[in-house]
Every structure is written in structure tokens, then in C-alpha cells.
Structure 1
Amino acid sequence: MSQKITLLGAGSWGTALAILAARNGCQVLLWGHTPEHIAGLAKERKNQRYLPDLSFPENVAVTSDLKKAAEYSDLILVALPSHAFKSTLIDLKPHASVKGIKIAWATKGFNPEDGSLLHQVVAEVFSPETPAAILSGPTFAHEVAANLPTAITVASTQPQFANQLADILHSDRFRAYTSSDIVGVEVGGAVKNVLAIAAGIADGLGFGANTRAALITRGLSEIMRLGIKLGGKQETFIGLAGLGDLVLTCTDNQSRNRRFGLALGLGRSRSSIIDEIGQEIEGISTAKETYLLAKRHGIDMPITEQTYKVLYENLNPLSAVQNLLARDQKAES
């Protein structure tokens, strides 16, 4: 029998993963929390809001019933915003077969309650023994759904689960590498969104390619300092889930975080940009969580700090760049 997967989150990324898994022969149940949205998916057999040109394979079903979603499969793949991650797992737990459940996620962010990593949330809601994995890397939803060549990292402390998930997702157009460094992959996937906002701001201010390259490179150093402090491995941050995702998100306007920063740099108001984009912009909340984590652990993250001040202390974006340039001269490493 083909593998059954419950996929939580009917946004662009959840829909793309549902299409990918179904294309690979899985039976997929895609859950979303809004009944009206799910009714539209069922009727049109596509996600008209986020991926309007891509139809669902016949082995994708949809539901807004979380109990039905929990009972469909013991393999749960979560593609929800980080702020909804913990609450949805809590709501899921009473309906799930807790003993055999496996939780994977494509969410990029921290738990906004306390800045904890999402694998820690899974351990708290279920148990430390629950198989847990993250998939992350340089991926835009539309390109994955359109079957364009893509590579990601699947990380878990339980190699058997990482291999199982990689086998499910892997195809001739989607290459899945495995890793045991779940912390490094989580940190890389979260913090790159903050740096994408910074890169967008710099481009909006008209600072050009030199500035963007410097922000990406020094931003990678910030990711590595925090990630290694939290237990991640250096090699992870120069791989797909680190450098790869950072470059993608900082340089292409498919990135909502980059587009948000770009519009800020052009002088637009935060609220008007959020309304126009109309989807989750993870880097906004992650900027605060990353800033607080860096302070707590004594990690120097100047780009993150200035981005936080632009978003939460109303610092002028040009002043933020000037603050970075005015820092004391020092050795690169």
C-alpha cells in the first residue's frame, strides 16, 4: 500500500508539499483551519489563492476537520506558520495515535512563546521519544509544485525517520539529503528570514549588489554564531539549509521576507506592506525572537539587532545601515 501522509497547512508551501508527495505516489490528506478555504480547494481541485495554475493530483484529499486529519495517518507533516505550530499540535494530540506518531515540519521559525526550537515543542507536546524531523532548504513553493529541480535537507536525530521522509519526498526533480543536525537546520531556516528582510531594506534604499553580498556573507556569520552556540554544526550552515536558503531568500523576489524589506526601504508603512503581501512574513516575528536569543546567549548579531530595531523600535532604515557601517573596525574572523 502507498504511504499515507497528513499534511497540516493549506497555504502555498503546504499545498506544494502535498502535490509533491502525491506526485511521488503517496495518499495525502491536506488540512486547513478555514472551512471556506478548504471548500474552495475541494471544489476547484487547486489552491486558487496561492498556486492558481497548478491542479491537485487525484490522490490529494482535503479537510478542515483536525480529528479526521489526525486519524488519517501517523505521519504528520506540518507546514504552518511558527506562531500556530504549538497550538495546532496541542489541538491535534487528543485525536492522534500518540504512541506511533511521527512529526515532521517545514515551518521556519522559533516558538514565539519563549524562543524555543520547534523540535523542543514537539518533545514538550508529545514526548522526547517522538520521531521528529525538519525539512528545510532553498525552496520556493511554486517551483516545487511546478516540478522544477530542487534540493533540500531532512534533519532528524533519528536516522531511520530522516531516511523514511527523504525516500517519500525524493524524486528525479526533488533531491532530499539527510542530516542529524536538527538544531543547525532549524536555526538556519529561521534566521535567514530576518536577514532577507535586511537585504530587502538595503536594496530598497538603493545600495546595490556590493551591499547585498556583504549582508549575506556577514549574515551567514551571525547564523553560525547563534547556531553553534545552540548546538548546531558548522558544516550545516554552509549547506542547503544554511547558505543555500540564505542566498535564495535574500536575492529573489519570490521571498515574502525580501519583498517586505524592499518595500520598507522604499519608505512604505509596515501595515500596508503586510496587507499587500497577504501571507505570513515569518521574519517579522523571528527578528524579535532571534534578537532575544542572541541577547540571552551573549551572541553578537549586529544585522539582526538593527533589523529588530527597524521593526520594533521604529528606527529609520537608513540609520540602521549607518549604525552597521559605524561599527569599530575588526578582523573578519
Structure 2
Amino acid sequence: MKGIDIAVLGGGSWGITLSRLLDEAGHKVRLWELYPEVIDELKTRREHSKVLPGIKVPERVIITGEEKEAVEGATHILLCVPSHGVRDTLIKISPHIGNDAVVISGAKGIETDTLMRMSEVIENVLGERVKVGALSGPSHAEEVSRRMPTTVVASSKDIDVAEEIQRIFMLDYFRVYTNTDITGVELGGALKNIIAIAAGGVDGMGFGDNTKGALLTRGLAEMTRLGVAMGAKPLTFAGLSGLGDLITTCMSKHSRNRYVGEMLGRGMRLKDIL
């Protein structure tokens, strides 16, 4: 499946990484970023040296700070902004989104004020005129951008949408599975961040593998129980978007949540870490 016209919203590490991947897959990519200084560097140097030094954005990828230029005519829209910025971004681009566009959440989180998942925020802002999906799983941008083998989940309540997302993103080093339990997929991606902070605390306090193994196991059990109570399927949490993402985030040097926990475990104050 090639030649899709797709807008990627967010010029951070994940947006850049997926823009590169989508370009490699043969799609027409427009990358939108909010901050002028980032846009300038992306246009002039084709990189964002603060988050992904040395990783270049292909010349074919159009870089813009204009919502209309980024979104108008795009059949697929990929949200790679932080979860707290998803609603504001959707409001900005809403006038330019065509009917039946597929809007894919690449953000992992829960909206603070409403406790909505990202797909629910999309539906709340854009209504029924768009199709909604999510992409989640153990996928650090630092590794995907270097073409390290990665496996993720494309999810939507509509299996046809999930399979369409799967075809768009699939490459030899980026394998995509499908799952219609979007509630479970999104909750796995959000809740594991809490456990990752605790896992970092284990590292920071100098505890060992026994402690972290217990934390991950009991943490997964809590994630699953909460997810089921919110309408998810328990098996989803045993898959890539649950256990897979939990292990990666709790163990990786790339994990920001784990790092915050480690610094807290060493006695630093949160305001000095962030």
C-alpha cells in the first residue's frame, strides 16, 4: 500500500521517526510542527538535534507550521504531539480535515481534565466524520529511527481501519499487528508509564532484579484489572501494547519515565528533574 497522502502532526522524536518510516514506505508525507525554532532547524538542517541528533528528515517530506498546508487534502492524519496537546492540535486542524479521513493517535496518555483516552479525544473534537485508530507498542524512536526491528499494534474498533493502518506502516523492520480492543491498547500505552516511574525508583534506590521483576508483574496485574473495569479485554495487556511496552519502558535507557523515577529514587526533587 503506497502513495498515501498523510499528515504527521508533531516534529518531535516520534513524529520525525514515523515521517521517515512513512516516506520509506512510499507515502507522501507532510510534517507539521508548532514551534518556529524547531521548524527552522527541520527545514534548514533536516533534523531536530535536541531530540534525535544525526537523524535526517528526507527531502521529500514537506515541513510546515501551517495547519492548512499540513492537513488539507490528507487522507490520513497521524498525531505525534504529546498527549496534553492533542485536543488543542485537533481544534486547530479541524477546519481543514476532510470527511472520512483516518485520524491515528500515536500519542500515549490520558487527558488530565476529562480522563479520556486519545481516541476518545479525537472522537470528542472531530465527531463521526472521521475514522479513528491508534498505533502503540514497544517502540522507542531512538531505535526505530535507526531501523532496529520493532513490532507494534494498529488498533481501531473497526477492523478494516486497523488493517488499513497496518498496511500503511508495515516495513521489514517495523512489523504491525492488529487489535480491535482500542480501549486496552491505549490504556496499556498510558498506564505503563506509571509503573515505569516506579521501576526507575527501583534503579535509583539501588535495588535489584528481584524487586523490579516483582514490580513489573504486580504492575501488569493492576493495569489489567483497571483496564477490564474500563471495558478492555484482559488478553490485550499480555500483548505488545501491554506487557511488551511495559517491559521496554521499565528497562530502557531511552525511557523518560524510568529516568524520572531513577532520579527521584536518588533523592532529587521533581522540579529539578523536569
TM-score (norm. length: structure 1): 0.80
Contact residue 133 and residue 162 of structure 1 kept, 8 A: yes
What residue identity is the alignment partner of 2:42? Answer: L
- Report 1:123-138 matches (<5 A): 123-128=123-128, 130-138=130-138
The alpha carbon displacement at 1:130 in A equals 2.6
The amino acid that maps onto 2:182 is I
Query: What is aligned with 1:49?
Result: 50
Matches within 5 A, 1:155-170: 155-170=155-170
Q: By how many angstroms is 1:6 displaced?
A: 0.1
User: 1:280-305: CA deviations, max 9, x gaps?
Assistant: xxxxxxxxxxxxxxxxxxxxxxxxxx
Identity level (%): 41
> What's the counterpart of residue 253 of structure 1?
253
> RMSD of the alignment, in Å?
1.2
8 Å Cα contact 2:105-2:119 kept in structure 1 = no
Q: Per-residue CA shift, 1:27-56, capped at 9, x if unaligned?
A: 111111012211110100122221112112
Which consecutive aligned stretches of 4+ in structure 1 deviate over 6 angstroms post-superposition? none
Residue type of the alignment partner of 1:81: P
1:233 corresponding residue in structure 2? 233
Mapped partners of 2:163, 2:222: distance in 1: 30
Corresponding residue of 1:330: none
SS in 2 for 1:46: coil
Measured in 1, the distance between the counterparts of 2:62 and 2:271 equals 35
SS of residue in 2 equivalent to 1:116: coil
1:188 aligns to 2:177 (yes or no): no
Please show how residues 1-333 of structure 1 align to structure 2 within 5 Å: 2-97=3-98, 99-128=99-128, 130-274=130-274
- CA distances 1:134-182 after superposition (whole Å, capped 9, x unpaired): 1000010011111110000010011121111111110111100011010
In our comparison, the structure showing a higher alpha carbon Rg is: 1
Query: How far is 1:95 from its partner?
Result: 2.0
Supply the distance in 2 between the matched residues of 1:117 and 1:52 (Cα, whole angstroms).
31
Show structure 2 runs of 5+ residues with no match. none
Mark the runs of 5 or more structure 1 residues left unpaired by the alignment. 275-333
The 10-residue stretch of structure 1 (242-251 or 35-44) with the greater mean CA deviation from structure 2: 35-44
Question: How far apart in 1 are the matches of 2:6 and 2:96?
Answer: 15
Indicate the larger mover: 159-168 or 258-267: 159-168
Aligned-partner SS, 1:203:
helix
* 2:127 partner SS: coil
> 1:201: how far off?
0.8
**How many pairs are equivalent?**
273
Separation in 2, partners of 1:257, 1:217: 18
Contact 2:142–2:254 (8 Å) recurs in 1: no
SS in 2 for 1:264: helix
